[in-house]
Structure 1
């Protein structure tokens, strides 16, 4: 079997690192069930501070390096919830108030489908850790789930972490276990993803890419998202870490119909356009369809991006899965070029698929 390390992909990643788009990048491309290209470039820790001073020790990134997936976590949470729907423990179109009666009293028109499609009318985020400093995880979660409606229910589309935090809590109540346990039992375990999950073991921290510089130092081995961090590192919207190879296997599971995680009918429902208006893409259940920020020429591609600089794109027509993991928030957020890098990697995937 040919070495999947691809010179063109390596060059794209190296150029992005050199240009300062990110400090570390790993990519993997699978066509018709076979890994045809992979590459890694950069350093897991490049900077000593937020002014751009290079660190004295800069460990190189490798194919098995671990990255904070950020919002790609939402796809794992969605899979857990859809599995619970299959078992009859949840219903997509039942009122959320059935599961959260105290928090959703008077909001019986909001359903799980609304939350998963970002059409529940909830505000984008809520910084509970700032509103009630020193509060427990339970108190913060209670405040987040109690967030009032600010827009019409049913649309237009309003991207919200609040909704997916709520979905994570609904999964815990219906599944009878914490969300990290449910993800392990229902998604990563069946797929054999040993390096994928919330709160990576300290034994793996030397493989984890650093993210943002904060007053306490660089974030490394713990989640970058402040809300997820304040909730103990486990939340429905962010917090999962993984390698490019394991995210690739997760994407392939969805491309091939869900086994052993979900039924094909559940994946079909997940990938169905939910009719949300007002977004530059179509919205499925937890997943984006044709998101121009990540798909490049893969116009039928579905997947998700992550604030840390990650992307998963699956193109059913090309039998193609593309993964890009970076730490574009190291040492600081707001660095330019990540959209272009995502497009370049997706374009290489299109070329390698032969379509």
Structure 2
């Protein structure tokens, strides 16, 4: 069941059906999935089509192109991670401090009361900028559009709100250019992608690579019709394809390399592109004072809506509008990459977030839970809006306790594990509740009311994010010095030795 890398194969195999179902439902034309653990790629699979449609009416092409493992994708906002790495490299060199005001290096940024905005606030999307502006309709050249961004005003006071904004990263891209004298694509190539051997990661890929690139959207409003081999994002396109928020193309293989540096303390092979201390800084939640969101320096943290069961306080990641996502779990030493062309031929399609979550969920489930004594434990399973019941008949006539061992990672205060008792199997009394993370196997005991005829473990989830679930080992009833093993049954819980 468990292979030599300590991973369970079955959940990874189940990803195939998840992807095939999504393609069948026209969530996206094609997909590449890559999952790596402990530096080993365990699954790298291509599905569907890289190019299928001629226009936004879903007119089928005569010669569609199948997706391949080495298909190159427009990774959209995952570009922001590369921009953030560039900024942090300059931080390491002592060229800047993340607490510096942006105007220290870009004086014209002071316009519209922005003189106190810091580099940290740009990296964490707390600058006060709005989400974005139609820059491609404004100005005529890259330089004019940069000037428009730098002069643009705010919608919130700096440091008071989190608002994800492309304008933050466009500004950081300009910052890198001002401090290095290189255009952003040149800097990233020289200092990130070439040193790491990321041969298929680039801005503005040459025409010779077109048929290896996943097609994106039919965009008559930009005069480009089907966008294929050019950056999808209109604003990045209007900036000659090079911007801090979008523009990079890459493959699953190359993004695995990128993810690995955050698991290897800034190193891949013999190449060190960031210091361990910088990696540790980037994965910290830098906006703890702002509720309901967690963000590091360039990274989103602990976002269950696409990380699902891999969510954790130090799980890092990013998504891209074209249908891409990257999840890096230091706790589990695991990287999950989902690359799709979900905007081909139009962005007006079903959300891919469910697919993102299900792939991350299966990747998490492939990481076995070490069960004490290599015994079989009851597992409540996964599912949205799930109610899973493990039940047994008992006859409690004297003071008794239910004893068991448990391990759980349950979405805190949204999903719950409960122990309940009943005298008639109809009316139930809650005896104990579990939510959050146990981190290890724990021994538990729960008092059972006299007269109890039924006991059950009930696991319930909300309509979206799952944790890694709830395990229960050897539940038994102790009365005085006597122990009995009730016969538990369930249609939902299963017994696992992993």
TM class, shorter-chain normalised? over 0.9
1:150 aligns with 2:155: yes
1:314 aligns with 2:328: yes
Q: 1:199 to 1:277 in 2, by over 3 A?
A: farther
1:73 aligns with 2:82: no
Partner of 2:38: 32
Moved more, 199-208 or 165-174: 199-208
How many residues get paired?
Answer: 352
Provide the TM-score with structure 1 as the length reference.
Answer: 0.95
Partner of 1:329: 343
Output aligned runs, 1:98-177, within 5 Å: 98-104=104-110, 106-132=113-139, 135-177=140-182
Shift of 1:276: 5.4
Shift of 1:87: 0.5
Output aligned runs, 1:205-244, within 5 Å: 205-215=210-220, 216-244=224-252
Unaligned runs of 5+ in 2: 370-498
1:257-293 deviation line (CA, Å, top 9, x unaligned): 1122111111111111112565743011110001122
Asked which structure has the greater RCO (Cα within 8 Å, sep 6+), the reply is 1
1:83-130 deviation line (CA, Å, top 9, x unaligned): 011001111001101111122255331110010000010111122221
1:179 aligns with 2:184: yes
Q: 1:124 to 1:38 in 2, by over 3 A?
A: same
Alpha-carbon distance between aligned partners in 1 of 2:183 and 2:203, rounded to the nearest angstrom: 11
Alpha-carbon distance between aligned partners in 2 of 1:292 and 1:198, rounded to the nearest angstrom: 30
Shift of 1:68: 0.6
1:175-222 deviation line (CA, Å, top 9, x unaligned): 221100111111111110000111112221111000001223210111
1:217-238 deviation line (CA, Å, top 9, x unaligned): 2101110101000000010000
Aligned to 2:120, what secondary structure does the other structure show?
Answer: helix
Is the Cα contact below 8 Å between 1:157 and 1:276 reproduced in 2? no
Is the Cα contact below 8 Å between 1:119 and 1:276 reproduced in 2? no
Aligned to 2:338, what secondary structure does the other structure show?
Answer: strand
Is the Cα contact below 8 Å between 1:314 and 1:321 reproduced in 2? yes
Is the Cα contact below 8 Å between 1:156 and 1:277 reproduced in 2? no
CA RMSD of aligned residues (A): 1.8
Q: Which structure has greater strand proportion?
A: 2
Shift of 1:161: 0.4
Structure (1 or 2) with the larger CA radius of gyration? 2
Alpha-carbon distance between aligned partners in 2 of 1:353 and 1:29, rounded to the nearest angstrom: 12
Q: 1:331 to 1:269 in 2, by over 3 A?
A: same
1:340 aligns with 2:345: no
Unaligned runs of 5+ in 1: none
Alpha-carbon distance between aligned partners in 1 of 2:196 and 2:275, rounded to the nearest angstrom: 14
Is the Cα contact below 8 Å between 1:280 and 1:292 reproduced in 2? no
Q: 1:165 to 1:288 in 2, by over 3 A?
A: same
Is the Cα contact below 8 Å between 2:33 and 2:338 reproduced in 1? yes
Partner of 1:192: 197
Is the Cα contact below 8 Å between 1:84 and 1:90 reproduced in 2? yes
Is the Cα contact below 8 Å between 1:9 and 1:38 reproduced in 2? no
Is the Cα contact below 8 Å between 1:31 and 1:352 reproduced in 2? no
Aligned to 1:44, what secondary structure does the other structure show?
Answer: strand
Partner of 1:247: 255
Provide the TM-score with structure 2 as the length reference.
Answer: 0.68
Partner of 1:97: 103
The runs of at least 4 aligned residues of structure 1 exceeding 6 Å deviation read none
